[in-house]
Amino acid sequence: MDFQATTPMDPRVLDAMLPYQVNFYGNPHSRTHAYGWESESAMENAREQQVANLIGADPREIIFTSGATESNNMALKLLEASICPETSLVSVMTVNNEIGVKQPIKEIGKICRSKGVFFHTDAAQAVGKIPISVSDYNIDLMSISAHKIYGPKGVGALYVRRRPRVRLEPLQSGGGQERGLRSGTVPTPLAVGLGAACRIAQQEMEYDHRRVSMLANRLVQKIISEIPDVIMNGDPEQRYPGCINLSFAYVEGESLLMALKDVALSSGSACTSASLEPSYVLRAIGADEDLAHSSIRFGIGRFTTEKEVDYTAEKCIQQVRRLREMSPLWEMVQEGIDLKSIKWTQH
């Protein structure tokens, strides 16, 4: 139930990768023998027929990387170096990884293009889950991560527009692979895995979206029908349904997570899960600090079952009730006391 942090590898992706882990092990950049040709062919097939097709890109605009973090760094390094008083950049997440809200990427892209501004989007949480066209959306740079779409960890891609051309500075020097933008041997099995994940996502996107929507609605309705004072964070309509962020008033989020430790959940992004600070995303959308501290993120994906959803909902209901019974704040609210009218003092 933490599918925004990562996803399990689809067995079909593993099947596609295994031959290139064992039998077809050649360096894809070796041009003098069949082993290299086999690996190069597989790598280019993943680039052309799978990754590029999923986002409506020219294959020459796809650069393999280690994941969305590296792709983001490559994109932003170039753009920062390009800034002068007359230029600027826009970088926006397509789907927020904490609350699932979809940004108006098409409209943002149109505005950026009209102003001559580069537009980068981190689409790690969106690619393969919602339709995206880099051409229709006027996207200049886009970051992709395989492990968010049931592919292997350690591989991703950066889309780099060719017309109008976006010029990047490489983060590292070396052999000049990936058109000189990302030196180092491309790991063929991982590239094949990313390609397979993209191919499957394109084929099953509509079905996955319907099923995830059904399961998400089932989870939310079960919880809010049994527990009062539960708030869904983020826009109720413009959202990816598989990312659900709920605040349980008068319950400490970390305490609820510990009570639900047999379920994979989080209180926010896995990138900042070591911090005890309230989510900056929730604070940015106006959530009170106490509600930000009481939030839990539920992630639903391709392999989530109805049984898992029902178990999670029932366990959550049970533990929220238990924790509220222990809370003096909840007791005060039940007695009709307005907590905001109390002047708290520190000792």
For tokens 């280690």, what's the residue? 66
Half-sphere exposure of 346 (CA within 13 A, CB side): 0
Q: What is the CA radius of gyration of the chain?
A: 23
Q: Which of 198, 243, 271, 316 is catalytic?
A: 271
Supply the DSSP string of 162-200, one letter for each residue.
Answer: TTTT-----SS-SS-TTTTTS-S---HHHHHHHHHHHHH
> In 10 A of CB 21, how many CB atoms?
15
SS3 category, 28: coil
Which two tokens mark 205? 């996107």
**In the sheet that 62-65 helps form, which strands lie side by side, from edge to edge?**
62-65, 156-160, 141-145, 118-122, 89-93
Known catalytic residue: 271? yes
Torsion 5-10-243-255 (CA) sign: negative
Q: Which amino acid is at 146?
A: A
Among residues 282, 299, 285, the alpha carbon closest in space to that of 244 is found at 299
Query: What is the DSSP track for 63-105?
Result: EEES-HHHHHHHHHHHHHHH--TT--EEEEESB-TTT-BBP-H
**Active site members:** 271
